[in-house]
Structure 1
């Protein structure tokens, strides 16, 4: 495999720990990933994902030994507070890692993106967080928030029971969360109850057109009492005073999903460029690179993807700088983060569609990489955080009107 680079051709050299906190015996070759020098761990992960993505697709989840490799690359300490040994990375730095993984496999990028979900846990009592991270900062957290279920509070514990959907990465998680009603003090926001994997049944029902490897199965809990200190309000006030935890939480959750399509779009355009330069049509027509329409449409798609990407990272870095300087983002910045996320998700999918349309008959075969890119990118755009309503919400905020979408800012 060639050297992996960021989509703007900047080489990524992640400052990450050289070991994983969790080792498994599922894949003996993973030891070499966990023990690789820090600067090589992300490259090792990309090569691993490239070798095994069909396995993830077939089995419909990313297994624990690969999660251990993600840990070695710093993915699951990227949002752990520094006071507990984590990296608490600036959002743009983490997002670039997820974009890069997604150029190799969208499902792996999607699962890795939930390394950011530890920002939610900053709303837990500090003592609870200390207990969570007592064995180290590398923690894989997954959950199903919806449908939010009622949970009775009994003697300081919530009685949790029900079924929750879309728990991406649940089979490889160290910790699971489910959504329960927030209560009177939650200002309408849902609460998440934390559970050990052995307290939850995973219903294997992720049967979809794309992002097969995300393992976004249902979670079933059959009556478990969860101490109130092991629950948090989603998007609630952080108990950790570090810049990352004052960055807009819900907007960040949208960003880490949207950036997957930046990676998929990049992979599709790179593939179209590669085959265009060398393949002759089956009818004997000139090779694709010799056809003006192919060159023109490919160039347009390149401009659109790079422009969307520039906006996405520009507003990310601007907002984080504001948070570092003042402690909070403006409402306009929060809205623009939501807008940029929706935009890159759609433009990434559009880039894939352009590559597919230009590639002709060859692209209709299951073995063609564009088939995978087409299905994966279509699923990303269907996420509730990335729908067309985000345009309306942003427009409202920019014009000084309250958005109609609950929790938009």
Structure 2
């Protein structure tokens, strides 16, 4: 075989072996019960996400990544979440490498030396004090809610200001072998996210492997000028867009089904059922439109060379909490209208209800975000950390 023939053959094999995004979604659908039972999305599924670009979506172009516009990545997460919320939640951390853009460039070069597909997970809170040592920090402590930690290539933990004059939390980057994962993720809803605790004992982290969350970035590309914390809220909130879409589609399918066990007309023949579905559809589409419209407007302004304003950040935070809360409300409405059949543990609606209820419990998506946005809209100073 000639070199040219060999090259063509290799390329053909690569094209056959690489899954499409739809094929990955089909695999997520087949394995979602496995994710729930194992309490995490396994590494081979993470590898499939890597092959369709989930974990290079926020990698700088200078390191071979895609640095996707936020709306493009958010739609990916939304679609995965429609199939399985836990998988969507874990995939959402494909955006987490935007945080890493605050590391020194030399550190980033080492991180991406093996390629742009890097999985980063971490537990930022509770912030743990770290002793300053020669050139870095001595890290000890336990951190909670490290979603996706079992499939991560690198892990981050929050070590606090450490006397450097910054009010923002500092994150230390560690290799998995330096961290103990405490497998204690025992919840109802989003069971497959593997949001276990992390424990670190007497590990020295060089200062060049730490960054300030929300601090100045070292990568000059538009994505890294997009508000980092607001984006972190968005990628979580969009999970409920996917879950709500799945729940509402389920209610629509049920409505077109058989008559009830009492002999009553099938749901689609009942005015209250049709009204409930239509109302939920309008709520979901309206919240989704606000969410993506705001995202697109802010990013377009950044691409044009403008820094994000306080008002723009507030609108991103507002759109995120609103879409998360609205998504949950739509799931509840779909659950209620489906009647008695929805109370059974095997019913799909149970999964949607549990997962959507967990999303809105995240601190980034609490009721307080409405207050923060309202303060900015009225020219007041919001609570610390909102902007």
What TM-score bracket applies, with the shorter chain setting the length?
over 0.9
**Structure 2 equivalent of residue 175 of structure 1:** 154
Q: For residue 282 of structure 1, what is the aligned residue in structure 2?
A: 261
Q: Could you tell me which runs of 5 or more consecutive residues in structure 2 were left unpaired when the two chains were aligned.
A: 1-12
TM-score, reference length from structure 2: 0.95
- Give, in angstroms, the shift of residue 44 of structure 1: 1.4
Q: Could you say which residue in structure 1 is the equivalent of 2:5?
A: none
Structure 1 segment 134-213 matched on structure 2, within 5 A: 134-185=113-164, 187-213=166-192
Query: Contact 2:140–2:201 (CA<8 Å) still a contact in 1?
Result: yes
Whole-angstrom distance in 1 between the partners of 2:197 and 2:306 = 37
Cα separation, 1, equivalents of 2:16 and 2:353: 34
| RMSD (Å), alpha carbons | 1.2
Q: CA deviation at 1:181?
A: 1.1
Distance 2:126 2:346 in 1: 36
State the partner residue of 1:59.
38
Aligned equivalents of 1:124 and 1:246: distance in 2? Answer: 14
Shift of 1:182: 2.2
Tell me the SS of whatever aligns to 2:204. Answer: strand
Regions of 4+ moved over 4 Å: 34-38
Contact persistence 2:130–2:162 (CA under 8 A): no
Render the CA deviation track for 1:18-42: whole Å, top value 9, x for unaligned.
xxxxxxxxxxxxxx9x85587x621
Contact persistence 1:100–1:263 (CA under 8 A): yes
1:363-402 matches, cutoff 5 A? 363-402=342-381
What's the counterpart of residue 273 of structure 2?
Answer: 294
The reply to whether residue 231 of structure 1 matches residue 213 of structure 2 is: no
Contact 2:132–2:162 (8 Å) recurs in 1: no
| Rounded Cα–Cα distance in structure 1 between residues aligned with 2:267 and 2:296 | 38
Of 170-179 and 275-284, deviating more is 275-284
* CA apart distance, 1:212: 0.2
1:69 is displaced (CA, Å) by: 0.2
Which of 130, 146, 150 is the matching residue for 2:109? Answer: 130
- Match status 1:83 vs 2:62: yes
Residue 396 of structure 1 and its aligned partner are, at CA, apart by 0.5
2:302 is equivalent to residue 323 of structure 1: yes
SS of 2:127 mapped into structure 1: strand
Report if aligned partners of 1:60, 1:206 keep a CA contact under 8 Å in 2.
Answer: yes
Partner of 1:221: 200
Distance 1:204 1:135 in 2: 29
Native 8 Å contact 2:129 2:162 kept in 1: no
Give the TM-score normalised by the residue count of structure 1: 0.90
User: The residue matched to 2:328 in structure 1 has which SS?
Assistant: helix
Residues 351-397 of structure 1: CA deviation (Å, up to 9, x unaligned): 11011000111000011000000000000000000001000000000
Q: How many residues align?
A: 375
- Which one of 305, 329, 336 corresponds to residue 350 of structure 1? 329
Quick one: which of 255, 260, 275 aligns to 2:239?
260
Aligned partners of 1:243 and 1:327 also within 8 Å = no
- 1:332 and 2:311 aligned: yes
Query: 1:118 touches 1:141 (CA, 8 Å); kept in 2?
Result: yes
Cα deviation for residue 186 of structure 1 reads: 5.3
Q: Aligned residue for 2:8?
A: none
1:325 deviates by: 1.0
**SS, match of residue 124 in structure 2:** strand
SS at match of 1:385: helix
Unaligned runs of 5+ in 1: 1-31
- Which has the greater radius of gyration? 2
Distance apart, 1:183 and its partner CA = 3.3
Asked if structure 2 preserves the Cα contact closer than 8 Å seen for 1:186 and 1:233, the reply is no
Which residue does 1:407 correspond to in 2?
Answer: 385
- The verdict on how the C-alpha distance between 1:357 and 1:36 changes in structure 2, with shifts beyond 3 A counting, is farther
